[in-house]
Amino acid sequence: MAKRKKKLDEREEANQILGHDPFEDVDLAWMDREEGELSIKALGHDPLQDMDVGWIDQEQEERAPDMAQEESQVVLEDTETEPLPMRAAAPLLEQAPAVVERPIPPQPLEVLQPEPLTVVTPGPTDGPEATFHFPADFKWGVATAAHQVEGRNIHNDWWNWEQTDGHIKQGHKSELACDWWVNAEVDFDRAAAMGLNSLRISVEWSRVEPRPGEFDESALERYSQMLQGLRERHIEPMVTLHHFTNPSWLAEQGGWENPETIALFARFVRRTVEVLGQHCDLWCTINEPNVYGYLGYLEGTFPPGRSDFGAARRVIRHLLSGHAAAYREIHALQPGARVGFAHNMNPFDPANPRSPLDRRVTRIADQAFNQSILTALARGRWTLPLGFRLAWKLRRTLDWIGLNYYTRDLVAFDHTQRRTLFGRRLHADDAELLDGGYGEFYPQGLFRCLRRLARLDVPIYVTENGIPDHDDDQRPRHLLAHLHQMWHAIQLCYPVMGYYHWTLVDNFEWAEGWTLRFGLIALDPQTQARTPRRSADLYAEIVQANAITPHAIDTYARELRSELLPG
Ligand code: FCB
């Protein structure tokens, strides 16, 4: 009751500010074309109010009282919460006033075309010294995806998409990418030299099953070889089974919009795990259903280039059902497997926190992009905008959750932005921006997302985090600041088990082509020459010390000293 009163007040306030009710003429019935069960129209004439998460929960609790009671403790919103109860001894911030620990310098990386690196010698420090340690068994890795690194993935929908002018910036193509299909091992050597103990790759469905039901054993053999190669280098593989690309034959029959794809994906997963299961038990079923749905079916910058809200919802639901089906297939074959999926989370904040409209569209953006997927997996129910029904099959299908974190957005109400549920995304005037308008430099967002995921009470891996930074002028500071946020989360006993930096070597960045460079190591795609950036040395130093040391801060981002080591 009090909540409803607050909303009415907010709406009146909005009326006063704008001089009219902005939602009066807004008809959101288009949002609900397929969802026969409950029409948006039946919800009254204030559709944005009805998008509120609280309303959805209330509605669904009435429909499924038992389940609601059982799970009423699950709180997943991005609000201030108490730290979790202690589960394990947290690694301590070790004060080292007298002797400054110097990590063993990283092994030099093999450089094909080295450029002279700027050597920064830290001067004497007069501030306090402290080392931020990570847990002994922490996984330090890098993440990649098949299409972005393998080269010549000619049987998938992305290859086809790249052939049309206007789809990829500057007409770029993936071509040979990083040539991993032929020689991933040169980069595995680099990863090993840096001291990494895990690496996230993906299996390309179109290589394994180039025609429906026909499995290419030689492709599976190549993946086996790669996984063995990682094991030989003491690098644990994490294998993603779907990272944005689909076999062309699958795309032609409707891709993930077609519900039959769920069973077809399960069949591909079964065959792949039968063969690769001897080298891997850490599986990531699907990468970023929300990004896939948003870019492919709303913004239209990924294949199939659609702009259809209903289709986007269906596709995300099918991807999540595909995740659940894959989870069961993998566990049937490998009872001890650890299976999760990678969720892209983007914190949203109101552009003007005093504006009720901005606050409302911010909540909607959060619900649509971040929360609806978590609710589906944690509570087994679809919530808006994904749907209304129960989603029982999704329950208990997470052994861990992966977080892909890059940036946050401010959201302002804009009645013209119907496609993005009336929210216009923008950045604060004083925000430090990343290359190519990729977003805001905002390390605290990593902590905020980890805090929220910790409520799921399953292990968390940061399955992606990185920055497009061609000249590496922000990446060292970015890396240190983000890892420090993660360290902070671990101190609060949030169960963060590993971190996978995106990425080792510059790779084909989807619709951005080669214009955005995320690599710790620079790549010239024409010559395949690799040149480590300073950040590669920094990451190696952190990984080998299993800690952020004052030496690393002073050498690579001295300007962070006052923030990370306040006196
Ligand atoms: C993520 C994708 C990954 C890469 C990074 C930069 O959303 O999962 O493939 O493109 O962004």
Q: What is the mean pLDDT of residues 229-248?
A: 98
| Predicted local distance difference test score (pLDDT) of residue 531 | 98
Residue with tokens 């992966």: 402
Question: Which residues line the pocket of ligand 1, CB cutoff 6 A?
Answer: 145, 287-288, 291, 344, 404, 464, 502, 509-510, 518
Lowest-confidence segment of 30-39, 165-174, 254-263 by average pLDDT: 30-39
Distance in Å, CA 244 to ligand 1 centroid: 9
How far apart, in whole angstroms, are the C-alpha atoms of residue 352 and residue 368? 20
Q: 287-319 burial, b if ≥16 CB within 10 A, otherwise e? A: bbbbbbbbbbbbbbbbbbbbebbbbbbbbbbbb
Distance in Å, CA 394 to ligand 1 centroid: 24
How far apart, in whole angstroms, are the C-alpha atoms of residue 40 and residue 385? 11
Which structure tokens are listed for 556?
């690579």
User: Do residues 514 and 525 make contact, with C-beta atoms less than 8 angstroms apart?
Assistant: yes
Where residue 53 falls among pLDDT bands split at 50, 70, 90? very low
Where residue 123 falls among pLDDT bands split at 50, 70, 90? low
How far apart, in whole angstroms, are the C-alpha atoms of residue 380 and residue 447? 26
Beta-bridge partners for 390:
381
User: pTM for the complete prediction?
Assistant: 0.83
Where residue 60 falls among pLDDT bands split at 50, 70, 90? very low
Where residue 34 falls among pLDDT bands split at 50, 70, 90? very low
Instruction: Return the biggest CA–CA distance within the chain.
Output: 70
pLDDT of 27 over the 90 cut: no
Distance in Å, CA 97 to ligand 1 centroid: 41
| Predicted local distance difference test score (pLDDT) of residue 107 | 45
Distance in Å, CA 105 to ligand 1 centroid: 30
Q: Which atom of ligand 1 is nearest to the CA of 509?
A: 10
* Cα–Cα separations (whole angstroms), residue 504 to 22, 402, 435, 467, 567: 47, 18, 18, 12, 34
Radius of gyration of the chain (CA): 24
344, 510, 515, best to mutate for ligand 1 pocket (most atoms within 8 Å of CB): 510
Where residue 59 falls among pLDDT bands split at 50, 70, 90? very low
Where residue 418 falls among pLDDT bands split at 50, 70, 90? confident
Q: What is the average pLDDT value for the chain, to the nearest integer?
A: 84
Give the rounded percent of residues in the chain with a pLDDT score beyond 90: 75
pLDDT of 136 over the 60 cut: yes
